[in-house]
Structure 1
């Protein structure tokens, strides 16, 4: 798979092709992939064929294309995200069983909150997040925790804007966001009423590694009318359990 005549590398084309798949667009035709990846038709069909041969993509009985199991296998080998998820799952399950609302695990990735896991009960309230989905850091409780405890360059980059509104109550003013981040650091958790959906409140706490660095956020999405106290108690307890499972010292 050599570089193309236009100068884009194999890596460039691979990233563009894989980026055409989303949580709601899991199967596509080769032509659709080529158009969305901005590849010439002949190049797209040849390149996709090579990826299918390599097992990174798969072709179904209708000749439509989906992400291949080989890509999943390679991506999860020695994955820090997988290790974090495995350490978090027992505690997440206990939290979800006790509170009976959406329980989520997120990390900061390329300036967004990337959700690694979500547990839900059949009667849980509204929630737009999904596994492998993303939200802006300023617009969710998980994102606020990751941003508040993130490095200064990340904070200033997000504060520089734009701060798009996900709902009518999302913080879009940099000065207000700066005060909110200071509040999160002081309290040790984030409460985000209506920031993503007007009917829900997000609550989140940090998860730290053995150096004390915040590496993830553990959150719940509650119905707007629910008190947040019990959820925060359970989340803080679970975060400590996860930190211990990851090898962080107690205390």
Structure 2
């Protein structure tokens, strides 16, 4: 699908994977609406408009999607990058895993993804058909933790496993509307989540990656997202972006 001249939504668009993807889409001629919390501040990029929205709040997502769909460019892409990743063991010295924390992680990472997916799909389905009935594509973000969840990642792994499980039925459900659904499962990416750790710890993380022995870059996620949009026959699939990493228990 051609990217130039379309509108796209990117959640978590003020930083990390979302910011890189928003910039990459704009660089290819898309009109991008970057959704993030109202308190977030993203980089100034030509072609990117920031909208304050909480992915778990249906009303704010509906308003943001309506804004993106109301412009002259047809809304054909949504990329779900918003997410959180706190860690806690199911049982620790502090006691059992806090149920509120587990619920919050699932609410943001899984329910928020589903909220944006369904709302964006409803708008994309109203656009004119392209070749073979295509109308657009929705890209979700899981994690290799969905498959190799480590100690302390029960909530995160469960939420991302839900995104993986959502991929195929969503692609099948939306096939009649000409909307593809693909999920990217990143490994260890150098995002703001890693900004506070030491260089020694970052080096230790990189040493465990088979090849290339370095942290992944947000721009590499963005490149893969653009490729997914370009490849019309790619649908209902989960793609690992991890340098062949299979995470150990800890």
TM-score norm. by structure 1 comes to 0.27
Largest Rg, 1 or 2: 1
Return the structure number with greater relative CO, CA threshold 8 A, min gap 6.
2
